[in-house]
């Protein structure tokens, strides 16, 4: 369940989610997993948690999308912190299926689901065809974010910006293009950066070369997160330790955490 340090690509890294997904195919398993994630996070002094996951990956035993979302929200509601959900569409799914997902997720707007996201293999599946799903999610009252900039070239980040998102998960490959960095900054889009996952996906060659310090000092609004605690084999505390090892000051780290509160969806 843990991706090795020498993953050759994002596509290879994603495969390590398969075993975890396989055992989360019942309502009780989904509720327990969400609850335990909340317990583990609270034990780390986290008081606000946004959980991203893809409901359509949990339908192997016949669960409806509504049942999947309901089970996860029940687990989060029972956890000892404020925890909300961001529903992820998958890039490999059809736009029609993702529009239906967005509309179903929108039924839970104001009841625990706060946002809509797109995840998956960036190289094989572009984001632009999924624009109708983002429009449906926005119309249903959900905030918008998108995974981009962890594989391929910087254009994937610009493609995500074209979907009307407020935040981008990762975005690090976009840091290679000054024009895209300038656009991210001017539009006030927040990058949710996950150093360990970025490195394991080979979006950055080494952690020492991660663009997070440079982006923060350029005025780009960034947060620090974990991606998957299990697959990345990390904690939020460890991600902050890695950012510190990159040369970021305590003030810069505090600013990232302040931005996380300022830009939260819940």
Which conformational region is residue 209 in: left (phi greater than 0), alpha (psi within -120 to 50 degrees), or beta?
Answer: alpha
Q: Is 239 in the active site?
A: no
Q: Any idea which residue has 């900054």 for tokens?
A: 185
- Residues 98-128 have pLDDT tens digits of 999 999 999 999 999 999 999 999 999 999 9
**Residues 118/120/125/129 CA torsion (nearest 10 deg):** -10
Considering the entire predicted model, what is its pTM?
A: 0.96
Give the pLDDT of residue 6: 86
Q: Tell me 189's DSSP state.
A: P
Query: How far apart are the C-alpha atoms of 163 and 85, rounded to whole Å?
Result: 20
Active site residue: 27, 50, 104, 150, which one? 150
Query: How far apart are the C-alpha atoms of 219 and 221, rounded to whole Å?
Result: 6
Query: How far apart are the C-alpha atoms of 73 and 108, rounded to whole Å?
Result: 10
- Mapped onto helix, strand or coil, the DSSP state of residue 50 is strand
Q: Is the pLDDT of residue 53 over 90?
A: yes
- Across the chain, what does the average pLDDT equal? 97
Closest CA to 148 of 111, 223, 198, 94: 198
């Amino acid at each position: 369940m843990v991706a090795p340090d020498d993953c050759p690509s994002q596509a290879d890294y994603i495969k390590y989610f398969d075993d975890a997904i396989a055992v989360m195919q019942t309502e009780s398993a989904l509720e327990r997993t969400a609850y335990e994630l909340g317990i583990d996070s609270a034990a780390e002094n986290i008081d606000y948690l946004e959980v991203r996951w893809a409901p359509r990956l949990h339908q192997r035993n016949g669960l409806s999308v509504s049942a999947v979302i309901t089970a996860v929200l029940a687990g989060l509601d029972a956890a000892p912190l404020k925890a909300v959900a961001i529903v992820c569409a998958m890039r490999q799914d059809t736009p029609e299926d993702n529009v239906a997902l967005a509309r179903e997720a929108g039924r839970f707007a104001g009841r625990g689901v706060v946002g809509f996201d797109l995840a998956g293999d960036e190289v094989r599946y572009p984001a632009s065809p999924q624009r109708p799903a983002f429009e449906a999610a926005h119309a249903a009252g959900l905030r918008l974010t998108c995974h981009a900039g962890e594989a391929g070239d910087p254009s994937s980040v610009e493609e995500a910006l074209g979907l009307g998102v407020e935040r981008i998960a990762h975005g690090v490959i976009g840091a290679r293009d000054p024009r895209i960095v300038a656009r991210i900054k001017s539009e006030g889009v927040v990058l949710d950066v996950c150093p360990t996952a970025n490195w394991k996906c080979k979006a950055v060659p080494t952690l020492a070369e991660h663009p997070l310090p440079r982006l923060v000092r350029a005025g780009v609004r960034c947060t620090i997160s974990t991606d998957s605690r299990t697959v990345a084999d990390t904690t939020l505390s460890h991600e902050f330790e890695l950012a510190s090892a990159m040369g970021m000051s305590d003030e810069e780290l505090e600013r990232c955490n302040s931005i996380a509160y300022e830009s939260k969806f819940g």
